[in-house]
Amino acid sequence: ILNVEQSPQSLHVQEGDSTNFTCSFPSSNFYALHWYRWETAKSPEALFVMTLNGDEKKKGRISATLNTKEGYSYLYIKGSQPEDSATYLCAFSWVGTGGFKTIFGAGTRLFVKA
């Protein structure tokens, strides 16, 4: 059974701290790795889609890296702000019989205290 692990499960930081989370996924049949931000009472919002080993993406203070050979991705937030408080989900897409499938991790819940 394919599984996507995210760590830590939750994280409490102070405003201004930099932080990072990990997403671990199977390294075989890789298709794509997605990061989403899910704020309470809102819909998940796409941050990045990465498809190539070594990919690095950046959006403002948030960046992500991808290692498909060892099966992990890191999400970094520089200078955390209270508005960064959310659950960060990663989703792994792989190629199987009948096409590709996507499986989500359980997420990392980030709390940023002002």
Partner 1 sequence: EAGVTQSPTHLIKTRGQQATLRCSPISGHTSVYWYQQALGLGLQFLLWYDEGEERNRGNFPPRFSGRQFPNYSSELNVNALELEDSALYLCAASRGGVDEQFFGPGTRLTVL
The piece of 15-23, 27-35, 58-66, 68-76 that touches partner 1 (CB under 8 A) is 27-35
Distance CA 64, CA 75 (A): 4
Out of 19, 66, 105, 108, point to the residue binding partner 1 (CB under 8 A): 105
Cα(63)–Cα(74) distance, integer angstroms: 8
Structure tokens at 93: 């897409």
For partner 1, the closer of residues 77 and 89 by Cβ is 89
Stretch that binds partner 1, among 13-21, 53-61, 66-74, 90-98 (CB under 8 A): 90-98
**Sole binder of partner 1 in the list 79, 102, 111, 113 (CB under 8 A):** 102
Task: Find the binding residues for partner 1 in span 40-79 (CB under 8 A).
Answer: 42-46, 49, 51
CB contact set of 108 (below 8 Å; sequence gap of 6+):
6, 7, 8, 9, 10, 11, 21, 87, 88
Binding stretches for partner 1 (CB under 8 A)? 31-32, 34, 42-46, 49, 51, 89, 91, 93, 98-107
